[in-house]
Amino acid sequence: MMEVRLLVAVVDDDESVREALPDLLREFGYAVRAFSSAQAFLASDCIGQTKCLILDIAMPGMSGLQLQRELRQRGQAIPVVFITAHADESVRPRVLEQGAAACLLKPFSEEALLAALSAAFRGN
């Protein structure tokens, strides 16, 4: 019997994040797809299978917040864990208020990422 692994999508314009984060998530036992932009994720065939979205807030073109809004408008209730390199304290409460499961400041620890994923899968 095949083990069904939850699909986590990583959307970040930073190539180093798109390379390192999926490896870590696979070690945790998740299936992973990585995208360089919100538009690339929206154009993919995996929106319906994605169980959690790890999403950079600030990206060229469509931001992480705009992607979250677009998915909501499409009726896709995918839990979101935002990640950001910008230490703007006003952003975190705002994204949590808009339904994000967590907001992590880069660089974050494996423990912080696991806790954020747990919150996302619990539906916080």
pTM equals: 0.93
Task: Give domain status of residue 46, yes or no.
Answer: yes
Task: Give domain status of residue 77, yes or no.
Answer: yes
Task: Give domain status of residue 113, yes or no.
Answer: yes
CATH number at residue 25: 3.40.50.2300
Task: Give domain status of residue 61, yes or no.
Answer: yes
Cβ-defined contacts of 30-37 (< 8 Å, 24+):
30/5, 30/6, 30/117, 31/5, 31/6, 31/7, 32/7, 32/8, 33/7, 33/9, 34/9, 34/10, 35/9, 35/10, 35/11, 36/11, 36/12, 37/11, 37/13, 37/61, 37/62
Q: 123: pLDDT confidence band, cut at 50, 70 and 90?
A: confident
Tens digits of per-residue pLDDT, 9-63?
A: 999 999 999 999 999 999 999 999 999 999 999 999 999 999 999 999 999 999 9
Residue 3 has what pLDDT?
62
Domain residue limits at 80: 7-122
Looking at per-residue pLDDT, the higher value among 1 and 41 belongs to 41
